[in-house]
Structure 1
Amino acid sequence: MLNISLVQFTPWLGNPTGNLKQIGHLLEGITTDIIVLPELCTTGYSFLSKEEAFGAAEGPDGESIAFFKQLAAAHQAMVIAGFAEKSGNKVYNSALIALPDGAVRIYRKTHLFYREKQCFEAGDSGFFIVQHPFNDCKVGVMICNDWRYPEAARSLALLGADVIACPSNLISDVWRIGMPARALENKVFVAVANRCGTETRQLEDGSTQSLTFTGGSVLYNFTGEAIEQAGKTEERVITLQIDPLLTRDKYFNAYNDLLNDRRPEYYLR
């Protein structure tokens, strides 16, 4: 058994120091094993160009990386947090996986959404899992729009994920249909950490873009049921206890195994 915590809050656009303080405050006194934070939780979301995103991004020695490594050590927990990653002359919409011993892994978002394609490179990390350091639990990561592509969650399930963490900046409610399907069809826990609040920017043509994020951070169990869900606008931490071992028997009746019954030789690529 282990505890998993989903952090929902309103990041301030272009204020990473303030956002890290918000995160630290929300997690004060929380005892947990896995912490999942939203997509781009250190910078806000609404970049207008690759140059702007690059200016806000961080490399391996950045303030946010150091903060999340310290957070993992202080809580003795795995921390999964979305951030803008600078690598050479490229910028990625990424998620940091920080462990208590200082080790880190980085997942780069595979399926960019809408204007993200004007700001970020398509991710090239591929999908992978990380073993929790203190518990028998394998964790995979996908970011927001990755949920629309069943291959993402299925790839993580085939790698052995018990939990799929999904840092998100979701602006519609259609994900409330798709995310539980990803949990059900792979028999995994899916932990969605979404943000709340509104960001408004003026575009180059003089029009205004206003994005309101839908909150509703939620942990789905392996049957697709929402165990607990935050409201659309509240800033809170949801902490729940799960048993990751329950995901490993992929049979859903006496004859059918979700993964072993696959017929990939007949699937189109």
Structure 2
Amino acid sequence: MVRLAAAAASFSRDVAFDLDRIGVIISHARDAGAAVLALPDGALGGYLDDLRDPDPGSLPPELDPDGEEIRAVIRLAGDMVVCLGYCEGGPPDEHGPVRYNAAVCLTGDGVLGRHRKVHHPPGVAPLFRPGHCFTAFDTPAGRMGMMIDHDKTFPEAARALALDGAGVIACLSAWPTSLTNRAPRMTQDRQARLFDLYDQSRAAENQVVWLSANQSGRNGALHFLGRAKVVGPGGEVLARTWSKGGLAMAEVDPPAMIGAARAVLHHLEERRPDTYGRCR
């Protein structure tokens, strides 16, 4: 058995403040017995202030993927597996600034896996380079995969990780309420419905355990949903938070749960990829 945790929390442009908050969340998760913790996208440096017309002068700080900020989280993690998102920067090239919406999975022993967000909404796409793949990696808690935010809108993303052997997938988000038709109550918001629907669908489609971490609170025009959760391989929500910050925690046995889910209907083995292109 392993205890999994997904966080809903607010982060800022102040990386020192964010590191303090990450340390507090890790401490709370450790005290509760968690072996794996998923933190939101933008846990180091915050996220954008708008998705339609983000201010280029108010972007998250660009961090070195092997820099002191990541090393600080490695020191905080100890024996816990921790996933978190940040803005990765690199030297400019002939096309302009090199900036990725990135995620890293680590323990006190170092980095276990990395991901660069592949799918960017139209208003955000000019600001970030896209990643090019979805790759699973081995951890002390089993084989895992990561994706970021809008990636989970696309079924192929989670399927690629499941086919690469991921039994636990962590989706790190900074997912806000609807920008075009915000509901008077968050529970009625279109984006809240989609956020939950994608979490449960991707877990059930691939028969994996799903960790969904998300930012909470506000930044500029964005009001983040929170709603962190742990979802089982049948699409059942095992633990969740609501709009405010907190930890969704569940004690699970991923190999046993996944084995039971796939005992009769094994979706990955039942695939017919030869039929998925255009009919001739």
Give the TM-score taking structure 2 as reference length.
0.83
| Contact kept? 1:50, 1:120, Cα under 8 Å | no
CA deviation after TM superposition for structure 1 residue 65, in Å: 0.6
Identity of aligned pairs, percent? 28
**Pairing partner for 2:144 from 121, 139, 146:** 139
CA deviation after TM superposition for structure 1 residue 94, in Å: 0.5
- Map 1:170-185; keep pairs closer than 5 Å: 170-171=175-176, 172-173=191-192, 174-185=194-205
Deviations 1:177-206 (A, max 9, x none): 122011111100111001111111xxxxxx
| Contact kept? 1:50, 1:118, Cα under 8 Å | no
| Contact kept? 1:49, 1:119, Cα under 8 Å | no
| Contact kept? 1:8, 1:237, Cα under 8 Å | yes
**Pairing partner for 1:42 from 27, 41, 44:** 44
| Contact kept? 2:239, 2:249, Cα under 8 Å | no
- C-alpha spacing 1:196/1:24, structure 2 compared with 1 (3 Å): same
Deviates more, 1:100-109 or 1:147-156: 100-109
Secondary structure of the structure 2 residue equivalent to 1:117? coil
Structure 1 residue identity aligned to 2:138: Q
Q: Distance in 2 between matches of 1:250 and 1:217?
A: 23
Deviates more, 1:23-32 or 1:146-155: 23-32
- C-alpha spacing 1:235/1:250, structure 2 compared with 1 (3 Å): closer
Structure 2 residue identity aligned to 1:103: V
CA deviation after TM superposition for structure 1 residue 51, in Å: 6.6
Q: Distance in 2 between matches of 1:61 and 1:161?
A: 24
| Contact kept? 1:39, 1:81, Cα under 8 Å | yes
CA deviation after TM superposition for structure 1 residue 237, in Å: 2.1
Structure 2 residue identity aligned to 1:88: P
- Map 1:59-208; keep pairs closer than 5 Å: 59-73=64-78, 76-89=79-92, 90-124=98-132, 126-133=133-140, 135=141, 137-171=142-176, 172-173=191-192, 174-200=194-220
- C-alpha spacing 1:88/1:248, structure 2 compared with 1 (3 Å): farther
Secondary structure of the structure 2 residue equivalent to 1:167? strand
1:211 aligns with 222
2:63 aligns with 58
Unpaired runs of 5+ residues, structure 1, are 201-209
Q: Distance in 1 between matches of 2:217 and 2:14?
A: 15
| Contact kept? 2:218, 2:224, Cα under 8 Å | yes
Secondary structure of the structure 2 residue equivalent to 1:170? coil
1:205 aligns with none
Unpaired runs of 5+ residues, structure 2, are 93-97, 177-190
Structure 2 residue identity aligned to 1:195: Q
Q: Distance in 1 between matches of 2:67 and 2:135?
A: 23
Number of residues of Structure 1 aligned to a counterpart in Structure 2: 250
- C-alpha spacing 1:248/1:110, structure 2 compared with 1 (3 Å): farther
Q: Distance in 2 between matches of 1:79 and 1:65?
A: 11
Secondary structure of the structure 1 residue equivalent to 2:203? helix
Q: Distance in 1 between matches of 2:259 and 2:118?
A: 26
Secondary structure of the structure 1 residue equivalent to 2:215? coil
**Pairing partner for 1:259 from 253, 259, 268:** 268
Q: Distance in 2 between matches of 1:216 and 1:264?
A: 34
| Contact kept? 2:83, 2:103, Cα under 8 Å | yes
Secondary structure of the structure 1 residue equivalent to 2:120? coil
